[in-house]
Amino acid sequence: MTLRRIMLFTRFERFWHWTQMVLIMILLFTGFGIHGFYNLLNFKTAVGLHTASALVLLLLWIFAIFWHLTTGTWRHYIPTSNGLLRVAKFYAYGIFKGERHPYRKAYWRKHNPLQALSYLSLKLFLFPAIWISGLFYLLYSFWGGAASGETLMWVAMLHTAIAFAILIFIIIHVYMLTTGHSFKEHVMPMINGFDEVELTAEEEAYLEKDEPGHIQ
């Protein structure tokens, strides 16, 4: 295995990541406004901005799912128990003792086992749950004719609870950027796309011959 700098995150992945981040921040900000945590926006403006951002994000997610399936990058999110316990121990206490991270990125495995499990859970459970509850709330006039107002309240409570779960994920995600390597080393790959990855001889030869712009 050879450690080389390669294009680990494509232009679309970086666009998807940062656009998603901006839209989720807008949704959280307007969501807090809708719930009356501040008065910077009036209720109508907050709802309109929240709904528009949610629809744009939903379209982005649909396209991202299509992109992952057609490019094969979904493989990065396949969960594995191989090394999962070592990574969990590292984040639990090894990181505070200055230990070396037990996982090295690979060409077809850029996420460590804990990251893959976390991201997969986010994509399979939290994101679909926030989509479905949000759409049910938005389309209440179409299905809620025979339902009581209490039903809508439970939909709203579920939507809010999932939003807080996503907020907790974001806080942990940002915190992890401050651990191990410098903040810049963690963030730069999602800006320029390049990161250090262990390559097999075959992978290195393929990149140097067929995609020379993706390897340094």
pLDDT of amino acid 57? 96
* Residue at 189: amino acid letter: P
Q: Tell me, letter by letter, the H, E, C secondary structure of the chain.
A: CEEEEEECCCHHHHHHHHHHHHHHHHHHHHHHHHCCCCCCCCHHHHHHHHHHHHHHHHHHHHHHHHHHHHHCHHHHHCCCCCCHHHHHHHHHCHHHHCCCCCCCCECCECCCHHHHHHHHHHHHHHHHHHHHHHHHHHCHHHHCCCCCHHHHHHHHHHHHHHHHHHHHHHHHHHHHCCCCCCHHHHHCHHHHCEEEEEECHHHHHHHHHHCHHHEC
β-partners of residue 215 are: 6
The domains of the chain are located at 2-214
Write the CB contacts of 162 (distance below 8 Å, at least 6 apart in sequence).
126, 129, 130, 133
Dihedral of alpha carbons 193, 67, 122, 157, sign: positive
Nearby residues of 7 by Cβ (< 8 Å), 6 or more positions away: 193, 194, 211, 213, 214, 215
pLDDT given for residue 145 in this prediction: 67
Question: Which CATH superfamily hosts domain 2-214?
Answer: Transmembrane di-heme cytochromes, Chain C (1.20.950.20)
What does pLDDT average to in each consecutive run of 10 residues of the chain (216 residues)?
A: 88 95 96 90 94 95 94 89 90 84 84 91 93 90 72 90 95 84 80 90 90 90
Please state at what angle helix 11-34 crosses helix 43-71, rounded to 10 degrees. 150
